[in-house]
Each structure stands twice: as C-alpha cells, then as structure tokens.
Amino acid sequence: MADKIIEAVNTGLHGEVTIPGDKSISHRSVMFAGLCNTPVRIVNFLRAQDCMSTVKCMQSLGIDIKDNGTDIVVCGNGLHGLKEPQKIIDAGNSGTTLRLMMGILAGQKFVTTFCGDDSLSRRPMGRVILPLMQMGAQIVGRNKNTLLPITIVPQSDDLQAITYKMPMASAQVKSAVLLAGLFAKDTTTIIETYPSRDHTERMLKAFGADIEVLDNIIKIRPAEKLTAPDSIEIPGDISSAAYWLVAASIIKDSDIFIKNVGMNPTRTGIIDVLKDMGADIGLVNERTASGEPVADLHVRYAKLHGTQIEAEIIPRLVDEIPVIAVAAAVADGVTTISGAQELRVKESDRLKVIYNEFSKFTAGIVEKEDGLIITGNNTFKNASCDSCDDHRIAMSLAVAGAAGAGINIKQAQCVNISYPEFYATLDNLKK
C-alpha cells in the first residue's frame, strides 16, 4: 500500500471495536518473560511491526518464542541466560525495543550491536547511553555516542548502582535504567519530575523483582531471578483507542463502544483532556487484567471546546497529541499545547509534521518550540497529506479525513507499526 484514500463519513460511526493489545506492555511481556526460566503464555499480544522487532531481538539472544496462532509462548533461560547474538540486531522503527533492550544488555558479558530504520537512526540514544555508562556500561555509538548504530561492549564486572534524576519525562529511559539495575551491585534509584507510564514497574514487581515506588522515586534492587505467572493478559492499547475516541467525538451522529481499553492512570490523559473539552465518554465493565486496569468505553458525538494542555499531563498522553490536534482544530475556541518538546524526537518531528501536513486541510495551527496553538471551529478541506512514515500521523490524518471532506494519505502503510487493523476497523465503524 502506498497511498490510502479515506472517504468522508456522513452518517456517523456506529458499532463496536475491540482494541488490540497494548504496544508498551506487549514489548515488556516478551522481554521480561524471556528473563524468566518457565514458559509464559502471552494472551492478546500485539502482533504489530514494533512488537515483532522485540520478538526477533529476543530470539536472536537465544530465547525460544513461538506463536501458536492464538497466543505467544516465551521460554526464557533465566535472568542470566541470554546468549551472544550472531548478527547485528535490527530494532526496526521501535524506540521502545532499542532503549529497553539496551538496559537489559548493558550488564551482559557478550557483545551486541544494534541498527534500526532511517527514523530510529535519527532518534536520540544518548539519553539512555549516558546513565548506562554512569553505571559502568561500555557503549559505543555514532555521533559521539548518541545515535545508531550502537555497540554494547562485554561487561567484566557487575554494573554500579546510581541515583538518576530524569532530565526528561521518558518511560523508555526510566525503564532502561531500572532494567540495568537488575544487574547492578546495589540499589538503583530513579527520580521523575512528572510520572511517565509505569508498566515496567508493575510487571517487574509482579515477576518478583524488589522494586519500590514512593511518589516520584523508584528504587530497584539487584535480582537473582525473575518469576513470571504462567500467563499474562495484555489489555487493549489506549493509544490505539484514542483514534476512535476522537473520531466518534467529532463526527456527527456517532455512537460507538470501544472494548478492552487499558486504563492505567499513567496513560489516561487522553480521556481527561477529551472530557475537559466536553466529550461524552462513559466507562463500563471496569476490571483488571494482569495487574493493569481495563474498561470498555461508550463514546458519542459531542460539541467540543478548546483547552490547555501543559507539561505535567504530557507524559500521560504523549503519543495522542497528533489526534488531539485533530479534535482541537474542530473544537470551539483555542487549544494550547505546551511542554511537548519530546514530540520532536519521535518517529518524526511530530510538532513540525502536524503543522506542515494539517495546514493542508485546516487553518489555525501555529507551531511553537514546545507545542502548538490551535484555533478551532474549522471545516476540513479535502487534501493530500504525507504521514512522513509516522504511524500516529497516518492514523490522525485518517480521523481528520473521515471527519472532514476525505483525505489522501501518502505512506499510509506505516499504521502496521502499532495498529495493523486500523483501516479495516474504520471501514467497519462506518457501516
């Protein structure tokens, strides 16, 4: 698929959508299960390109991972059982794969070299290399240890524990340091300014790691082993649900049920913001799955108004800003987004791409260094836009096209990174 044409939706979105597995939790389930020594069945694993990069990565480190058609079964060799890979490991497009794996591999007694696609090769890796080197890891990367390709040199001794005050809100950096902390001599401490997603902390605790969270301080002690339950159930990804939350809120006459949505409070910023904008979102069937809160969501069209989104909430909706920008462009009044400079170092420079591409179908978007100012009340024109090979941009463009006058999306196939069923699901909701 090169281009994708999305037609305008004239009679609202209707019906039910079941959200595929959470990308962040899927990555972690395969990595952490691979560090245990009993088989772990992963239910509702996200079979999207990013998570498959993690599967291939763990397989090249000697972990037996099989897809039985329903579930993924991981048979690890214990905490110290990873083997030297025979080839360079390709992390593809996935920042989570690369950064978390670096934390796991920093303390190993063998050499690993990573590469990735063009986008990942532009993204900053010094943010992980720096604290890992403070722990005593030896890592060499292009451009003065900041970019791929990256080689992790064999470690002769255990890593040193550090206390690390996070210079930016990033669950990937936090997770890399915590995972390295499993292989350190003493207690590793992380101090966060604004809390980022806590799936690593929850899953490591469930696997028996000695990890303690007190407000914004996380402490992890070295582990002898990790012990997983026989099976893990992955909740649906709220970052994927976000497209339907916005689409149903802004397309007249819509009324949909979004089933199986992960409701971890470190991820629900999108719901808080949409409700604050006047969205009609109801929660039903609240439950937990493998230590993560889950619910079904009932969303109906509502007239939205502008809002202010500031630094503190950004980590709780960091991947949802592109689709929030779509909602803001049709809402009444002005929406300001600030403290969102992290968007510049994702799969694309998302602030710049939102400005460049959205300006082809709507007026009123101003790009700031750390965010956007969006003046609403727009009617979207038909346009041809480029996803810039960024899955979150492609799906946000599709929502705008469905809500407006249709859209042609170039490089549309990148939705396979996180949500392969996205276009088919949109078609189903139109019926």
Ligand X SMILES: C=C(OP(=O)(O)O)C(=O)O
Ligand Y SMILES: O=C(O)C1=C[C@@H](OP(=O)(O)O)[C@@H](O)[C@H](O)C1
Tokens at residue 121, please?
A: 């090769």
Q: Does 347 bind ligand Y (CB under 6 A)?
A: no
Name the token pair of 317: 């909706």
Tokens of 377: 């009340």
Choice among 50, 237, 296, 319 that is catalytic: 319
**Backbone phi, then psi, for 365, in 5-degree steps?**
-105, 125
Q: Is 54 in the site for ligand Y (CB under 6 A)?
A: no
Contact of residue 132 among ligand X, ligand Y, none (CB under 5-8 Å per partner type): none
State how far the Cα of 185 lies from the Cα of 364, in Å rounded to an integer: 54
> What are the CA-CA distances from residue 413 to residues 22, 198, 392, 401 (Å)?
19, 30, 11, 16
Name the residue with the smallest CB distance to ligand Y. 24
C-beta of 92 vs 404, nearer to ligand X:
92
239/254 with CB nearer ligand X: 239
Closer residue to ligand X (CB): 218 or 321: 321
One of 198, 319, 357, 386 touching ligand Y (CB under 6 A): 319
Which residues inside 274-333 make contact with ligand X, applying CB under 6 A?
319
> Distance between CA 388 and CA 409 in Å, rounded?
10
Amino acid identity at 309: I
The letter for the amino acid at 176 is A
To ligand Y, the closest distance from the beta carbon of 129 in angstroms equals 14
Of residues 87-106, which lie at the interface with ligand Y (CB under 6 A)? 95-96
Which residue from 327, 203, 339, 332 is spatially nearest to 270, judged by alpha carbons?
Answer: 327
332 is catalytic: no
Beta carbon nearer to ligand Y, 220 or 383 = 220
The yes or no reply on residue 171 touching ligand Y (CB under 6 A) is yes
Q: Which of 53, 94, 108, 254 binds ligand X (CB under 6 A)?
A: 94
Q: Tokens 């960024």 map to which residue? A: 390
- 95-124 mask for ligand X (x: CB under 6 A)? xx----------------------------
Nearer to ligand Y, 95 or 269 (CB): 95
For residue 24, give the 3-state DSSP assignment: helix
Residue 318 within binding range of ligand Y, rule CB under 6 A: yes
Say how far apart CA 111 and CA 145 lie, in whole Å. 16
**Which of ligand Y, ligand X, none sits in contact with 392, Cβ below 5 to 8 A by type?**
ligand X
Smallest gap from residue 392 Cβ to ligand X (A):
5
* Residue 170 binds ligand Y, judged by CB under 6 A: yes
- The residues, any chain, with a CB within 8 Å of residue 121's CB and separated by 6 or more, are 115, 147, 148, 149
Which amino acid is residue 158, in one-letter code? D
**In contact, 131 and 106? CB cutoff 8 Å:** no
Stretch that binds ligand Y, among 136-144, 166-174, 251-259, 381-389 (CB under 6 A): 166-174
Of 244, 249, 286, which is closest to residue 264 (Cα–Cα)?
286
Whose structure tokens read 């897809």?
A: 67
Pairing outcome for strands 188-191 and 163-165: parallel
Chain residues 26-55 in contact with ligand X, contact rule CB under 6 A: 50
> What are the residues binding ligand X (CB under 6 A)?
50, 94-96, 319, 346-347, 392, 418
> What are the residues binding ligand Y (CB under 6 A)?
24, 95-96, 170-172, 175, 197, 318-319, 342
